[in-house]
């Protein structure tokens, strides 16, 4: 008989009422708690055990940047947890244009139980979160992508059983994905190396933050050096949303950083490939790698759902 957990009250969460803007708000123990909860919630979902701890709760999803994975994973996640998600498009809420980010935060907090924001300027997100007295989750900003990093490390832990000492190589642009991965690795003991073209490394502030939490990533301009012996090889698009005018120039700059079969051959024998998606086959990664046996990109994409459900449950309980 399948147990029904719908009427079981959620246990008090040590993260209740907190924000998640960078992952740097959390301790190593709290990071472990989030990942443990993600695994538990995924197991319940796969077992088709009803679990509705957020019944009657509403999440406002504020999109200044569109995304199918972010919208679907948060909306479905809230539904599966028993709550409701409200999609707010750029036409409906223009943060910093029609009203200040702080006013947006104050108003939304009077209506709903938590806010997810996917936006450009991280400063706007911080201002909104500072004014709202409900949990605020960063669905993506130009500087950080914490929910992606949670899914990334959940995938690595599923594959290898542990994160402590796991060698991860990130190859490409030192962008928001690389920033959050650096913070997440510092909190979990994973060993991150970032290989990037000159002038495209991670921001120094992020490097320092990771060092204050655990260990800063190793930095190199040699992709082969980064990947050699790694158990995880990770890349992202060369031009992110908002950088379309730079796309052609970036193709030339980043061409030596393509993850192809030759680069993967330098990694450990059991190495896996990750990509946050969407991917451009033939640019940052070859089709043979992303569609090959070592690729875990669709497991990684699925884990956005489970990791975000865990985060929402812990922040909103």
Q: Which of these, 274, 256, 8, 311, lies nearest to 137 by C-alpha position? A: 311
Regarding the domain delimited by 28-142+304-316, which CATH topology (the fold level of the hierarchy) does it fall under?
Rossmann fold (3.40.50)
Query: Of 193, 213, 78, 91, which Cα lies nearest the Cα of 135?
Result: 78
Active-site residue set = 118, 145, 148, 236, 276, 304
Tokens representing 305 are 């759902």
- For 146-300, give the CATH class: alpha beta
Q: pLDDT tens track of the chain, all 317 residues?
A: 455 555 555 567 999 999 999 999 999 999 999 999 999 999 999 999 999 999 999 999 999 998 999 999 999 999 999 999 999 998 888 787 889 999 999 999 999 999 999 999 999 999 999 999 999 999 999 999 999 999 999 999 999 999 999 999 999 999 999 999 999 999 999 999 999 999 999 999 999 999 999 999 999 999 999 999 999 999 999 987 667 778 889 999 999 999 999 999 999 999 999 999 999 999 999 999 999 999 999 999 999 999 999 999 999 99
Domains 28-142+304-316 and 146-300 equal at CATH topology level = yes
pLDDT of residue 38: 98
105 CB burial (10 A radius; 0-12, 13-18, 19+):
buried
What are the sequence ranges of the domains in the chain? 28-142+304-316, 146-300
Helix (H) or strand (E) holding 169: strand 167-171
Q: What phi and psi, each to the nearest 5 degrees, are found at residue 219?
A: -120, 140
Q: What are the structure tokens assigned to 250, written together?
A: 């970036």
């Amino acid at each position: 008989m399948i147990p029904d957990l719908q009427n079981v009250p959620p246990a008090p969460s040590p993260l209740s009422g907190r924000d998640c803007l960078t992952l740097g708000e959390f301790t190593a123990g709290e990071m472990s708690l989030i990942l443990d909860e993600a695994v538990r919630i995924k197991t319940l979902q796969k077992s088709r055990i009803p679990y509705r701890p957020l019944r009657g709760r509403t999440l406002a999803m504020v999109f200044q940047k569109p995304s199918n994975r972010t919208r679907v994973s948060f909306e479905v996640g809230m539904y599966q947890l028993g709550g409701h998600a409200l999609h707010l498009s750029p036409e409906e809420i223009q943060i910093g244009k029609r009203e200040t980010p702080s006013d947006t935060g104050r108003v939304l907090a009077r209506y709903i139980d938590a806010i997810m924001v996917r936006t450009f300027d991280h400063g706007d997100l911080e201002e909104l979160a500072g004014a709202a007295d409900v949990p605020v989750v960063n669905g993506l900003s130009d500087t950080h992508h914490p929910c992606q990093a949670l899914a990334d490390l959940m995938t690595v832990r599923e594959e290898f059983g542990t994160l402590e000492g796991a060698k991860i190589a990130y190859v490409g642009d030192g962008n928001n994905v690389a920033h959050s991965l650096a913070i997440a690795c510092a909190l979990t003991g994973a060993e991150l190396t970032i290989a990037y073209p000159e002038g495209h490394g991670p921001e120094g502030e992020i490097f320092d933050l990771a060092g204050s939490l655990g260990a800063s990533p190793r930095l190199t301009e040699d992709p082969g050096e980064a990947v050699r012996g790694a158990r995880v090889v990770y890349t992202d698009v060369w031009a992110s949303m908002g950088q379309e005018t730079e796309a052609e120039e970036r193709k030339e700059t980043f061409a030596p950083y393509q993850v192809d079969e030759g680069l993967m051959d330098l990694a450990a024998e059991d190495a896996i490939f990750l990509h946050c998606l969407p991917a451009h086959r033939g640019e940052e990664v070859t089709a043979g790698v992303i569609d090959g046996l070592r690729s875990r990109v669709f497991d990684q994409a699925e884990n956005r759902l489970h990791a975000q459900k865990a985060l929402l449950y812990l922040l909103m309980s």
